[in-house]
Structure 1
Amino acid sequence: MTDSGDSIDRHESSLPGVLGVIDTTISRIESFFLATGVLLMALNTVANVVGRFAFQQSIFFSEELNRILIILITFAGISYAARHGRHIRMSAIYDALPSNVRKPLMIGIALVTALFMFGLCYYSIGYLLTQASRGRVLPALQIPVWITLVWVPIGFFMTGAQYVLTAIKNMTSRDIYLSTSVLEGYEEDELEI
């Protein structure tokens, strides 16, 4: 927290105890992987463009590396979006409901979404194991294809955990939260047409 108490450090959870530690840890992991992935993708792409136009030689593994980084960014990003309440919502009916109905509905939505995320995690592990059993490798990098897919179940698991934490936050708070740190509602600029 800042001295004025007006804002929360973006890595510090508003949840108490061990749940706060889990939430903070997930936040730091997401931030690290997203920042690292975006920076590496930018560096790789710029280096490939410079190599292609200045030296008439592309980096032979550039496409494969960017494909791996896209998977990383996508599946770390779904957890990040859940943490910041940024997933697309169809909320016209939900917004019209009274708050005493919206709160249990938000808890239900978070728990059902968590269930789906954990289900997708389970199925993605099966897919990953299938890919591992095939023994395929990337042509340029010569690393097993299954290693590039490790981020998929991790991302689904972290997203599911984030939605469970959101449900708990709503169960323990008077307000209604879209995530552990984002209150429901709209900003002024979102209401302007």
Structure 2
Amino acid sequence: MKKQKQMRLINFLIKTLAVLDRGLERCEAILLSGAVLAMAVLNVANVIGRNLGHSLPFTGELNRLLIVLITFMGVGYAARKARHIRMSALAEQFHGISAKILHITIHLGTAVLLFALAWFALDYVQQTRQIGSVTASLHIPLYLIYLAIPIGLCLGGIQFLLAAIRNIATPGVYLAFNVPDTQDDDHHNGRI
């Protein structure tokens, strides 16, 4: 009876986290695709303007700002899809429970690192705000753009934490919250 209650609680936790994760994924996808689309529109408009003799001077500045946004907000999205850079040569040497422990350790360590980097980045954002730095052409406060750095790092940390929770709470080995490790034979046979 106690085991059934624990399993129901774990299933409820996983389903709740999955719903929250899907909502966050949609927001990130809209933001990232909108930023990429904005870069494309800006560059096409600038090329057309240049050919007509009227270049858009703010295009380069906005592109740099959008690159910062895409780079750091993409951290969480890449981690969610297990498309982040990872050293799989070592992980492929482990199977079963040892692979699971290794992935939990890696996910928790990466989450802690990303949260720490987000903390330091937030300190930098606050310093930038106090200085009052703005962009050259559009006079956008730089701290508003740099906010993408701690937010993106924090979202990445959340994804790695979710992956660790998934590995702790459920059978199998997961590279991300919803991405099972297909290299692990034990996962397919249900032995973990």
TM-score range, shorter chain: 0.7 to 0.9
**Cα shift at 1:171:** 1.1
Q: Map residues 90-129 of structure 1 onto 2, 5 A cutoff.
A: 90-129=87-126
The 8 Å contact of residues 26 and 158 in structure 1, kept in 2 or not, is answered as no
Q: Which residue number in structure 1 is paired with residue 53 of structure 2? A: 56
Contact kept, 8 Å, 1:15 with 1:180, in 2: the verdict is no
- Provide the identity percentage: 40
Give the 3-state SS of the residue equivalent to 1:16 in structure 2: helix
Q: Distance in 2 between matches of 1:21 and 1:157?
A: 19
- The one-letter amino acid of 2:167's match is N
Contact residue 166 and residue 177 of structure 1 kept, 8 A: yes
CA distance in 1, matches of 2:142, 2:73: 19
**Distance across 2 between alignment mates of 1:182 and 1:18:** 17
Runs of 4+ with >6 A deviation: none
Query: Structure 1 stretches of 5 or more lacking a match?
Result: 1-13, 187-193
**Alignment of structure 1 residues 149-168 onto 2, 5 Å:** 149-168=146-165
What pairs with 1:21-60 in structure 2 (closer than 5 Å)? 21-53=19-51, 55-60=52-57
Query: 2:154 & 2:23 partners in 1: Cα distance?
Result: 14
Q: 1:20 aligned to 18, 21, 28, which one? A: 18
Instruction: State the Cα RMSD in Å.
Output: 1.5
CA contact (8 A) 2:14 2:166 kept: no
Report the secondary structure of 1:178's partner residue: strand
C-alpha distance after superposition, 1:74-110 (max 9, x if no partner): 1111111100111122121221122210101101110
Structure with more of its chain in helix, by fraction: 2
For residues 137-193 of structure 1, give each alpha carbon's deviation from its aligned partner in whole angstroms, at most 9, with x where no partner exists. 11110111111111111100110011111111111221101001111135xxxxxxx
* CA shift digits 1:16-71 (9 cap, x unpaired): 34322321222112101111000000000110111011x11211211111111101
User: CA shift at 1:134, angstroms?
Assistant: 0.9
Counterpart CA distance in 2 for 1:123 and 1:22 is: 26
TM-score of the superposed pair, with normalisation by structure 2 = 0.85
Q: TM-score under structure 1 normalisation?
A: 0.84
Shift in CA distance, 134/32, structure 1 to aligned 2, threshold 3 Å: same
Supply the distance in 2 between the matched residues of 1:15 and 1:59 (Cα, whole angstroms).
50
Q: Structure 2 unaligned runs (5+)?
A: 1-11, 184-192
Contact between 1:15 and 1:23, CA under 8 Å: does it hold in 2? no
SS in 1 for 2:71: helix
C-alpha separation between the residues in 1 aligned to 2:100 and 2:139?
Answer: 50
Partner Cα separation in structure 1 for residue 143 and residue 95 of structure 2? 47
